[in-house]
Structure 1
Amino acid sequence: MLRNYLLVALRNLYRNKLYSAIGVIGLSLGVTCCLLSFLYIRHELSFDRFHANGDNIYRLIQTESESHSSSAGSSSTSPMLREAVKTGISSVTQATLVTGSEHVVSRGAKSFTESVLSVDNDFLQMFSFELRGGDPATALLDPSSVVVTEDIAQKYFGSGDPIGETVTILLGETNVDLIVSAIIEAAPVTSSIQYDCLISASLLKHTIPEEVTQSWTNVLVSTYVQIPPGTDIGSLERAMSSHITGLASKDHPDLQLSFSLQPLADIHLEPRYEGESISSTDPIYHIVLSAIALAILTIASINFVTLSVGRSSTRTREVGLRKVLGARRGQLMKQFWGEPLLLCVAAGILGVALTEGFLPTFSELAQRQLSLDLFTDWTILPTLLAVVLITAFLAGIYPAALLSRLAPTDAMRGTAAFGGRRRIIQTLVVSQFALSVFLILSTLVISSQLDFVRSRPLGYDKDYVVSVTTNTEGEEAADLVARFRNELAGQPGIVDISGYSYPFGQSWLYVRIPDEGGTTVLIGEDVTGPAFSIAGDTAVYFYLNWIDPYYIPTMGIKMVAGRNFSPDYSSDQNGAILINETAARHLGLDNPVGQKLPKGFSDATIVGVVEDFHYYPLHRKIDPLVFHMPRHDNLSSLFEIAVRVRSDDVPATLARIENAWDRTSNGKPFAYEFVDETVDQQYADERRWREIVRNASALSILITCLGLFGLTSLAAAKRTREIGIRKVLGATESNIVRLVSKEFIVLAAIGIAVASPIGYLSLSRWLDRFAYHPSLGWETIALAGSVSLAIALTSVSVQALKAARANPVDSIKYE
């Protein structure tokens, strides 16, 4: 019996090759999208789950408030926090601070910039990063120790044993010799913590002044703790907040500190705190990708179901004959479920093959290392089977249930009623078009926002500016900038040269100024929004950068009042500041030049006002900004050099810059990037998702067109005799095309009407993520609808025109 069912199913599928091919192709594309989405989301969910103690490791999130203001939660904390919770909170079994940056590592003639993390000795016992040599309990006990990855060991020591050997790391202005105590595996790509070298946190004294590290209000590091399983998190957070506030009150009586525990596995999955460098992903994109994959699979499944339902009425005589010959209802239902199941299995196999083919391209687009292995990964096959079985069930249930209950006499006469079939097909086609229109509209809106970002004036000139990292600080950085400037001055292709502290695309320091009576608090790295209110009082955040007198002209920033810093005014070094227009408005100063900022901020005088410019991405509004001359300490040194070059022959100019660097930097690595590329990188997520949505839209259009083509062909086939008679009676080709296509065009228009308000509301919310964006007008929705309608009309008309041009004699002979 099973063999007979299989043969009949294969015969029917072969007889209807067009509809079978449309169903398999569309469904396989849907399966491919679902598998790619599944692989991406599973990869994101796997971050930091390889640690043996991962369920018991938390990162501390700090919130601070005073009598007049409050800050949002920050993943950056005081360097004093680790010792305080380790010794003062009994539930904390281990704790480590983590902070990192790029440092020059050298051995002999080899010198490179590497990622160096400063951590406590507990780090290697808390986290499951495997050591290839050395003891995790003692590897970092000695402050003169360094733990390096295998790649770093190979780079500096070749094939020899590096343990016990010495490397030199430039920390601040000091070259520190460190002894390799252990070799550690490279952090997996699914780790939120990445490193090349690990050094003892006690060496922070070389890069951060002691008075800065010994303050509860200077938040410079991340703090991780490990607690026993089953600990009451709420009670621990309250105990920790009370204990630390008590310690901080000695120096800051009005300061209230509260702490929350962020699970290690949640760090990558929650929106990144401003100012932190740890990799994270916005959870909304998981939802978006899942929705896109499900939308495409739904469109493909609708095609499959509508064609299956549409063809059901052509098989009534077959059902009647089988019933006369003794077939039971259950047997008929198995047969009508078997055919879509065969097609779904074929689509699943083809979908896996397409996934393998598209995976490298998708991995590059998503910037993830994704892989597909059906035989070793037990999660993929069940997912694929679920998609196949559910689709086969939905495609077969209505025809199977309807046809199997027909009376044999009605079925043999062909008089069976299918009143609900048409409504089902209409509903499915409308849903399909609504989904396609939404994806097309999403593509238009995301592209419009990216075009807006590219074309909006930023208030400075980002093009043809090379930013070179000094890899040093303090007086040495100032001397290096001066030597470099003198070496490059007057060379071909060089326009301007300047030194500055913090580049675009990186967090700038800021101070929080309460609006009445409070004290100014130096926060450190940017971890909050521009302002917060408590009981009607507002604290404003003023962002800081330290620049030399050449920065303003080099970056093309306009002065709107007063003057720029000048080397001719010795008082500018410590007694002058520049502010932007937004800062002047927040301060309520109509004529800010000659004025001073609120008490506690600075004794410096405002000598000039610069035009507002976007030093942060367009996701956020322009905040108050203060420029200082460099103080040559660890926070305000000239960490970067901006070199504006001419647009002609950039490679040759870049070579001259590198040669000048080699002659003036005392062997430091030449690390540079173009400012325009750094700025563009701030919108990498949006560009990536535009490509994903654009490809999804193209797929949805393709699948929808295939479905409409199949349904139009089916509708024309059912009305072959009617079309022939109408042509004999004088109907033109346009009349026939209108007859066949009218219903589908109306359904497409209804789909557009359904999708438009939903798309408008959801995409308006997405645009609100940007402080600056174009308005979403009805013309954009009309364009998406027009594109969809034109595609539908083209797809339907092709098949309708074929039916209209058929010989009426052959049409009348039909059936």
Structure 2
Amino acid sequence: MLKNYFKIAVRNLLKHKLHTGINLIGLSLGLGVSILIFFFVQFELSFETFHQDLDRMYRVKTHERIDGEMKESYSSPVVLESAFREEFPQIEAITGVTNADVQAILPDQSTQNQRIRLVHPDFLKMLNFPLIKGDISSQLVDKYSVVITEKAAKLYFGSADPIGQSLQLKMGEDFVDYRVSGLLKNPPANNSIPFEILMPIENMDFFADKESLASWYNVWGFNLVKLNNPEQVASIHQSMEAFMKKSLGEDYEEGGLYFTLTPLADMHFAEGAGNGAVQTTQKSLLWILSGIAFLVLLIACINFTTMAIGRATSRAKEVGVRKTMGASFGQLIIQFMMEAFLTTLTASMIGVVLAELFLPTFNDLFQKELDIVYGPTQFGILAGLIVFISGLAGAYPAFFLSGLRPIKVLKGNLSLHFGKQGLRKGLVAFQFFISFLLIATTLIMVNQMNAIQEYDLGFDQEQILIVDMPDFPSQNFVTSLKESFRTAESFRQTLVSRTEIASTALTVATYGDDAFWQVGFPLEDGTMFSFKVNFVSGDYMETLGMELLEGRTINPAVGADSSALIINEAFAKAFNWEDPMGEMLPRTDFEPHQIIGVVKDFHHASLYQPIEPVMIAKSPMAVFSGITNLMINSSTNPKLLVRAAGGDINQVRSVIEAEWEKQFAGLPLEISFLDETVEAQYQSDRRLGKMVFIAASLAILIAAMGLFAMVALSIAGRTKEIGIRKVLGASSWSISWLFGKEFIVTTLVGVIVALPLSIYLMKGWLDQFAVKGWPSWISFAGLVIGGIAFTLVLVYAQSLKASLSNPVNTLKDE
């Protein structure tokens, strides 16, 4: 029986090649994009699921009141690990995870930057990273041992067995030998904590002194906790106040500092400061992409439904004859659903091919390394899509056609309208609504990105190169910073006299969220005043083209202006200083200092963030002597800013490379561009905008094919009417208008509903920006006019052709 249904379905699909082709193209495009998006969403949701006992593992979240406001961060102090282990018996295992960048010696004796993770031995016992070689109980126990991945083993030891071999890493001022004690499989792709080398956390003494490591207010990396029972989270949270009172002693302030546990399963989607080089994705992005995939699929399904209804007249006699011959309602349902299923199945096969073709573009767009693997989950998604689309697109036409009365059909009393014209128009209007909703959304996103690109940041980002200078880690943080600056200043001086270079400057922070360090100190009223700080030398303000409103800039001479401070307008406004020159910071703990200048407010962070109080200093002690809070989320080694004197950037680059080889031979040179750093802050939203644009283009293409088919069906069902109107004297343009006005009204309904909804939906997206730019009413008016013109071209191209045909042939045929 099924064989007959299959044969009849194939014949019908092949007989109506135009409609079958339009359905296949629409569904294939929709499925190609949707399969890719749904596989991507499934992959992102699978992060951390390879860990056993995931429901018992958590990440520590820090809550601290700063300047009267509670701040949250995933960074936590090193001392927390031992304190939690001693205080809470509910904890089965705990590990700190801190990352650091050090120099490593390669087999050819050259060096490269290597990121390491400093962890407790519990790290490998808690998390499921399989060991290939070595005993897990003996890993990360010896301070001078490391565990490496297959990738690192191949890089440093080639095909040789790495176990027992030495790896030289620069810790502090010297290279130290570390024995490889274990070899791990490369972490899976759905792991949020990427690493190549694991090192015992005892090595933190190379990066900070005992006082810093014992402080509850100095944060380094994050902490992971595994509980005996997931239900014990509440008891730990209830005991937290007593624990903090005991740990902080005299420094305890109710609600001032405490910690909570957040599920490790949510780590990949956690947004906030102190993520510690954890790979994250915005969960909202997944829902937006899923919504886009669903909308594109919905448009393709609407095409299927509207064309099936439009072909009802030609299928009605078939239904009438088959019912007269004894076919039941259920048999007809199966027949029509079989056609929908075959169309969807074929489109799915084509969609899989398209998904593979789209994959490189998708990975490049979202900076991912997604690889489509067809496992049980993926086949389940495909099967679900086929069943869902077959039901959504084929159910209504199947039930409607199967329910036609054979007497009425065979008498010839059935017209194309048969009371269902409203549904057909509604579906077409809904198609246009979705299409123009996506187009309006794209328009708003493009306008906002253009507004950001053209916005004056308060400094000149063009023609500036950023050179990462060598770091000199030390237990004393200030000493490390001073030594790094001293060496970097020597290199800067070699470039000052070169004619290819206009100006140079050293800086700790360049640009972007969390690039400037956050510091704070208490005021007399007990509140905490927080601000951003940057340490510089050389012609910093001149190199960046900043505007000085009052005072003078910092003297670039070595040893000069060690107590000088420059503030921005927001800083002066925070203390209501009308004339900041000569003012002192309101705390006696600060060493002697002086405010020598006020710079015009500039955007030190991305335009997602408002302008904050900013201080620029030359000497770290001028700031560190009086602060009580310090948060660093960016690199601590200085960067050299180089402004090119002319347009030949490559020539400036060659000068830098030549001088680098003289002074830092063997050390890797990393050069980037400031304008690219600025642009990188908005890449995620630009990618999302491109994805919405692609979806809008596909939606318009699919809707256009559907409209083309609907107009063709409408004209085919009214050829006799066209012929009679021609005989009675109607012009070709009046007949074209007869068809055009119906679809123009449908288009207008879709556009008018889509525009306000797009503005409402995008308001939430725009709210994340400190600087906003809405499109003008002219842009929206152009969208409405474009929508109407789009419909007119499609409708009039076919209706005019039909109206120009000879009525004699039309009426004779009828």
TM-score, normalising length: structure 1: 0.92
Match of 1:445 in 2: 444
Structure 1 residues 775 and 172, CA gap change in structure 2 (3 angstroms) = farther
CA distance in 1, matches of 2:515, 2:246: 30
Partner of residue 621 from structure 1, selected from 607, 610, 615: 610
Report if aligned partners of 1:174, 1:206 keep a CA contact under 8 Å in 2. no
Deviation at 1:466, TM superposition (A): 1.8
Residue in structure 2 matching 1:606, options 574, 592, 595: 595
Counterpart of 2:187 in structure 1 is 187
Query: Is residue 496 of structure 2 the alignment partner of residue 496 of structure 1?
Result: no
Asked if the contact 1:721/1:813 (under 8 Å) is kept, the reply is no
Please say if residues 546 and 637 of structure 1, whose CA atoms lie closer than 8 Å, have aligned partners that are also in contact: no
User: 3-state SS of the aligned residue for 1:322?
Assistant: helix
What's the secondary structure of 1:93's corresponding residue?
Answer: strand
How far, CA to CA, are the matches of 1:467 and 1:630 in structure 2?
21
Q: Give 1:556's aligned amino acid.
A: G
Deviation at 1:698, TM superposition (A): 0.7
Displacement after TM superposition at 1:589 (Å)? 0.9
Report which stretch shifted further, 749-758 or 226-235: 226-235
**1:590 aligned counterpart, secondary structure:** coil
Per-residue deviation, 1:672: 2.3
CA distance in 2, matches of 1:580, 1:558: 10
- State the shift of 1:625 in Å: 0.6
Moved more, 803-812 or 252-261: 252-261
- Which amino acid is the alignment partner of residue 598 of structure 2? V
Separation in 2 of the partners of 1:56 and 1:287? 27
**Displacement of 1:364:** 2.2
Please tell me whether the aligned partners of residues 245 and 258 of structure 1 are also in contact (alpha carbons under 8 angstroms).
no
Cα distance per residue 1:91-118 (max 9 Å; x no partner) = 1121111111321112572210011112
- Name the structure 1 match of 2:762: 763
Distance verdict in 2 for CA 1:717–1:665, change over 3 Å: same
1:595 to 575, 578, 583: 583
Residues 241 and 259, structure 1, Cα contact 8 Å, conserved in 2: no
The aligned residue for residue 561 of structure 1 is 550
Corresponding residue SS for 1:737: helix
One-letter identity of the residue aligned with 1:545: N
Counterpart contact for 1:245–1:255, Cα < 8 Å:
no
With over 3 angstroms needed to count, the CA separation of the structure-2 counterparts of 1:7 and 1:806, relative to structure 1, is farther
Contact 1:31 1:384 in 2 (8 A): no
Offset at residue 447 of structure 1 (A): 1.1
Look up the match of 1:518: 526
Counterpart contact for 1:519–1:600, Cα < 8 Å: no
The answer as to whether partners of 1:84 and 1:244 remain within 8 angstroms in 2 is no
Quote the residue 1:35 is aligned against: 35
Q: Give a deviation string over 1:344-388, Cα, whole Å, max 9, x none.
A: 2222222222222222222222222223344xx112233223332
Spell out, residue by residue over 1:140-182, the C-alpha distance to the aligned partner (whole angstroms, 9 max, x if none): 2222222233332332333333333333322344433322222
Which residue does 1:698 correspond to in 2?
A: 697
CA distance in 2, matches of 1:126, 1:445: 46
- The answer to whether 1:51 aligns with 2:40 is no
Cα distance, 1:135 vs structure 2: 2.9
8-17 vs 511-520, which deviates more? 511-520
For the structure 1 residues 6 and 167, does the alpha-carbon distance in structure 2 shift closer, same or farther, using more than 3 Å as the test? Answer: closer
Question: Is structure 2 residue 799 aligned with structure 1 residue 800?
Answer: yes
AA aligned to 1:698 is: S
Aligned 1:461-610 pairs, distance under 5 A = 461-473=460-472, 474=480, 475-505=482-512, 506-513=514-521, 517-518=525-526, 520=528, 540-567=529-556, 572-573=561-562, 575-599=563-587, 602-603=590-591, 604-610=593-599
3-state SS of paired residue (1:758): helix
Counterpart in the other structure of 1:649? 648
Q: CA deviation at 1:769?
A: 1.0
Q: Which residue of 1 aligns with 2:393?
A: 395
Shift of 1:643: 1.8
CA distance in 1, matches of 2:56, 2:636: 39
| TM-score of the two chains, using structure 2 as the length reference | 0.92
Q: Which residue of 1 aligns with 2:661?
A: 662
What's the CA shift for 1:600?
6.1
CA deviations on 1:664-719 (whole Å, 9 max, x unpaired) are: 12532212221211221111101211211111111000000000000000000000
User: Residue 338 of structure 1: CA displacement?
Assistant: 2.5
Contact 2:192 2:280 in 1 (8 A): yes
| Alignment check: 8 A CA contact 2:244 2:252 kept | no
Question: Superposition pairs for residues 131-530 of structure 1, below 5 Å?
Answer: 131-253=131-253, 256-273=256-273, 276-374=276-374, 377-416=375-414, 419-473=418-472, 474=480, 475-505=482-512, 506-513=514-521, 517-518=525-526, 520=528
C-alpha spacing 1:732/1:274, structure 2 compared with 1 (3 Å): farther
Deviation digits for residues 13-37 of structure 1, max 9, x if unmatched?
2332111111111111121222111
Deviations 1:294-327 (A, max 9, x none): 0000011001100001111332222222233232
Distance of 1:157 and 1:333 partners within structure 2: 66
Aligned-CA RMSD value: 2.4
Number of residue pairs aligned between Structure 1 and Structure 2:
792
Q: Give, in angstroms, the shift of residue 455 of structure 1.
A: 1.0
Write the distance in 2 (CA, Å) between the matches of 1:471 and 1:492.
Answer: 25
Superposition deviation, residue 593 in structure 1: 1.4
2: distance between equivalents of 1:630 and 1:690?
Answer: 43
Q: Is the 8 A contact 1:546 1:638 kept in 2?
A: no
Bigger Cα displacement from structure 2, 426-435 vs 780-789: 780-789
Aligned partner letter, 1:409: I
2:31 pairs with 1:62: no
User: Deviations 1:365-422 (Å, cap 9, x if unpaired)?
Assistant: 2222223344xx1122332233323333343333333333333321111214754411
Tell me the percent identity: 34
Which residue type is aligned with residue 482 of structure 1?
A: E
CA contact (8 A) 2:19 2:709 kept: yes
- Do the aligned partners of 1:547 and 1:627 also contact (CA within 8 Å) in 2? yes
CA separation in 2, counterparts of 1:699 and 1:569? 61
Deviations 1:695-751 (A, max 9, x none): 111100000000000000000000001111112222222112111222111111001
CA distance in structure 2 between the aligned counterparts of 1:285 and 1:516, rounded to whole angstroms: 44
- 1:523 — aligned with what? none
CA–CA distance in 2 between the matches of 1:2 and 1:682?
Answer: 57
1:56-135 map, 5 Å: 56-65=56-65, 69-106=68-105, 109-135=109-135
- Report the secondary structure of 2:395's partner residue: helix
The residue type equivalent to 1:561 in the other structure is: E
Higher mean alpha-carbon deviation, 482-491 vs 555-564, is at: 482-491
Q: Which runs of 5+ in 1 are unaligned?
A: 521-539
Give 1:770's aligned amino acid: F
Offset, 1:637 = 6.5
The 8 Å contact of residues 47 and 268 in structure 1, kept in 2 or not, is answered as: yes
Look up the SS of the partner of 1:60 in the other structure.
strand
- Decide whether aligned partners of structure 1 residues 565 and 395 sit closer, same or farther in structure 2, where only a CA change above 3 A counts: closer
Distance 1:250 1:105, change over 3 A: farther
What letter corresponds to residue 693 of structure 2 in structure 1?
R
Counterpart-to-counterpart distance in 2, 1:664 and 1:309: 78
Alpha-carbon shift at residue 515 of structure 1 (Å): 5.8
1:806/1:478 Cα in 2 relative to 1: closer, same or farther (>3 Å)? same
Shift of residue 5 of structure 1? 3.4
Tell me what 2:627 maps to.
none
The one-letter amino acid of 2:221's match is: V
Shift of 1:241: 4.3
**CA distance in structure 1 between the partners assigned to 2:595 and 2:94 by the alignment:** 44
Contact 1:619 1:769 in 2 (8 A): yes
In structure 2, how many angstroms separate the alpha carbons of the residues matched to 1:117 and 1:316?
71
Deviates more, 1:423-432 or 1:254-263: 254-263
Q: Does 1:709 align with 2:717?
A: no
Q: Distance in 1 between matches of 2:182 and 2:316?
A: 77
